[in-house]
């Protein structure tokens, strides 16, 4: 076998086929890597009889993922199935002393502690560059390129589907439901887009980045999460008038009460870099203590960008194995050094509020009274023209920095007022 590394693939869907293509075509940069010889030895697929997008020898195929994990000629397991058994197969590969590459963010966000521990205990590595932001090498950058930094903050657009929808809403191409339906029809959004639009996909990715950058063990469920379902084109227009653009942001920062980790629609100054990341693109702005601000942007999904990240991990693991280097995953084990996630209610930030109010004396006073009681200072109030049919008008309030807990109480009280129609819309405003 010489110095060749036997590869076993679990899953030959879109990304798996991209990986097979890259191994076959081996770009020049890979060919120049001396001794690198990755040999595909086994592939698990749900249906071995199905016609494939790439040609693979029929005798490589099996319907049983454990055949891949157990194959003595496989030293490197690449799990790209997205199937329910993924955690078990990854764990089994590590327990058998095999290096593992996965793109499965849900498994890593939920079971990272256990799986990274298993890798270390077995002297192997679990790599996962493709799990966050597709082709952007953000994991590698945080783990090695920026290792000489304390990460101070991280702002990301980590979900392509929601960025695509918000971009088209910002271009005045329609409302949320209409654009989502169109995106589904064109195959740009999943038939079940709930993980994307609810923000949970981004929250899982943020949990993984937080483990590396801030040494937290929280899962996707521990990240405060709001999706884009309630974003209205009215808010996009009012944001534009104020000089802001609405994006679904994944934010992690150090604060007095621990590490803040949150995913929610946010207003960004329209001239900021992240406000200008359009369509399905992803981006991450990292502030490091030594390096200052760095911005990474690119394709966060899709066949070849994701395969590019998977193959980068495979090459690194193969070279490490060939050179006899041991496991390098110690940095992913937190033990007693784990930091805690901060309580969201302690957040201090500026807020944009949109209310639909009756246009009559005393309504504005009752609203400002509630705001003042919460010790919240108003930066500006804009009342739009009277809607002659309903007698109601949109009222926009922008606050100075206020505490999340106070703002929630104030909004709950506003929602109880007679003169306020519809639920108050609240959008946090980021400085950047
Ligand atoms: N569904 C994700 C997105 C890609 O829209 O960005 C995979 O993480």
Q: Give me the percent of the chain exceeding a pLDDT of 70.
A: 98
Q: Does some domain include residue 38?
A: yes
Residue 248 pLDDT: 98
Q: How confident is the model at residue 35 (pLDDT cuts 50, 70, 90)?
A: confident
Q: What is the mean pLDDT of residues 284-290?
A: 98
Residue-wise pLDDT tens digits, 343-354: 999 999 999 999
Q: Are residues 227 and 257 in the same domain?
A: yes
Q: Does some domain include residue 179?
A: yes
Q: How far is ligand 1, taken at its centre, from the CA of residue 162, in Å? A: 9
Closest CA to 241 of 230, 249, 233: 233
Please check the confidence at residue 1 and state whether its pLDDT lies above 50: no
> Into how many domains does the chain fold?
3
Q: Are residues 323 and 205 in the same domain?
A: no
Q: How confident is the model at residue 106 (pLDDT cuts 50, 70, 90)?
A: very high
CATH of the domain at 68: 3.40.50.720
Minimum-distance ligand 1 atom for the alpha carbon of 161: 5
pTM: 0.95
> Residue 205 catalytic?
yes
Quote the CA–CA distance of 399 and 379 in Å, as a whole number: 5
Which range of residues forms the domain containing residue 410? 347-429
Q: Measured in Å, how far apart are the chain's first and last C-alpha atoms?
A: 53
CATH of the domain at 273: 3.30.360.10
Most confident of 21-30, 57-66, 339-348: 57-66
Residue-wise pLDDT tens digits, 178-237: 999 999 998 889 999 999 999 999 999 999 999 999 999 889 999 999 999 999 999 999
- Name residues whose C-beta falls within 8 Å of residue 400's C-beta, 6 or more positions apart in sequence: 350, 376, 377, 378, 379
Q: Are residues 32 and 117 in the same domain?
A: yes
Residue 27 pLDDT: 82
Q: Does some domain include residue 398?
A: yes
Residue-wise pLDDT tens digits, 80-95: 998 999 999 999 999 9
For ligand 1, mutation pick of 14, 130, 157, 201 (most atoms within 8 Å of CB) = 201
Closest CA to 352 of 390, 389, 379, 313: 379
301 lines ligand 1 (CB under 6 A): yes
429 lines ligand 1 (CB under 6 A): no
Nearest CA to ligand 1 atom 2: 159
Q: Are residues 174 and 234 in the same domain?
A: yes
8 lines ligand 1 (CB under 6 A): no
Q: Are residues 86 and 50 in the same domain?
A: yes
198 lines ligand 1 (CB under 6 A): no
Residue-wise pLDDT tens digits, 293-319: 999 999 999 999 999 999 999 999 999
CATH of the domain at 396: 3.30.70.260
């Amino acid at each position: 076998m010489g110095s060749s590394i036997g590869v076993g693939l679990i899953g030959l869907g879109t990304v798996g086929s991209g990986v097979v293509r890259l191994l076959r075509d081996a770009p020049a940069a890979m060919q120049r890597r001396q001794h690198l010889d990755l040999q595909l030895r086994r592939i698990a697929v749900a249906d071995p009889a199905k016609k494939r997008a790439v040609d693979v020898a029929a005798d490589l195929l099996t319907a049983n993922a454990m055949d891949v994990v157990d194959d003595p000629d496989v030293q490197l397991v690449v799990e790209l199935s997205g199937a329910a058994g993924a955690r078990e197969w990854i764990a089994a590969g590590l327990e058998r002393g095999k290096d593992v590459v996965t793109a499965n963010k849900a498994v890593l966000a939920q079971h990272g502690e256990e799986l990274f521990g298993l890798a270390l205990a077995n002297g192997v590595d679990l790599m996962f560059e493709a799990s966050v932001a597709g082709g952007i090498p953000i994991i590698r950058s945080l783990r090695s390129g920026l290792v000489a930094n304390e990460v101070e903050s991280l702002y990301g657009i980590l979900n392509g589907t929601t960025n695509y929808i918000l971009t088209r809403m910002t271009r005045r191409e329609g409302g949320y439901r209409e654009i989502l339906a169109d995106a589904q029809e064109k195959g740009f959004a999943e038939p079940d887009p709930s993980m994307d639009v609810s923000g949970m996909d981004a929250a899982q990715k943020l949990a993984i980045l937080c483990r590396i950058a801030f040494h937290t063990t929280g899962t996707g469920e521990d990240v405060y999460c709001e999706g884009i379902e309630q974003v209205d084109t009215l808010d996009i227009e009012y944001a534009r008038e104020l000089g802001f653009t609405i994006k679904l942001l994944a934010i992690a920062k150090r604060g007095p009460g621990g590490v803040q980790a949150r995913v929610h629609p946010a207003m960004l100054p329209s001239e900021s870099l992240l406000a200008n990341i359009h369509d399905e693109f992803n981006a991450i702005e990292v502030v490091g203590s030594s390096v200052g601000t760095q911005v990474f942007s690119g394709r966060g999904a899709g066949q070849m960008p994701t395969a590019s990240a998977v193959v980068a991990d495979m090459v690194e693991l193969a070279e490490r194995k060939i050179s006899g280097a041991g496991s390098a995953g110690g940095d992913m084990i937190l033990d007693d050094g784990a930091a805690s996630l901060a309580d969201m209610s302690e957040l201090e930030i500026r807020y944009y509020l949109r209310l639909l109010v009756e246009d009559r004396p005393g309504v504005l006073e009752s609203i400002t009274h509630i705001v003042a009681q919460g010790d919240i200072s108003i930066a500006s109030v804009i009342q739009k023209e009277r809607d002659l049919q309903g007698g109601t008008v949109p009222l926009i309030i922008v606050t100075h920095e206020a505490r999340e807990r106070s703002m929630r109480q104030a909004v709950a009280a506003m929602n109880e007022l007679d003169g306020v129609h519809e639920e108050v819309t609240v959008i946090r405003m980021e400085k950047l």
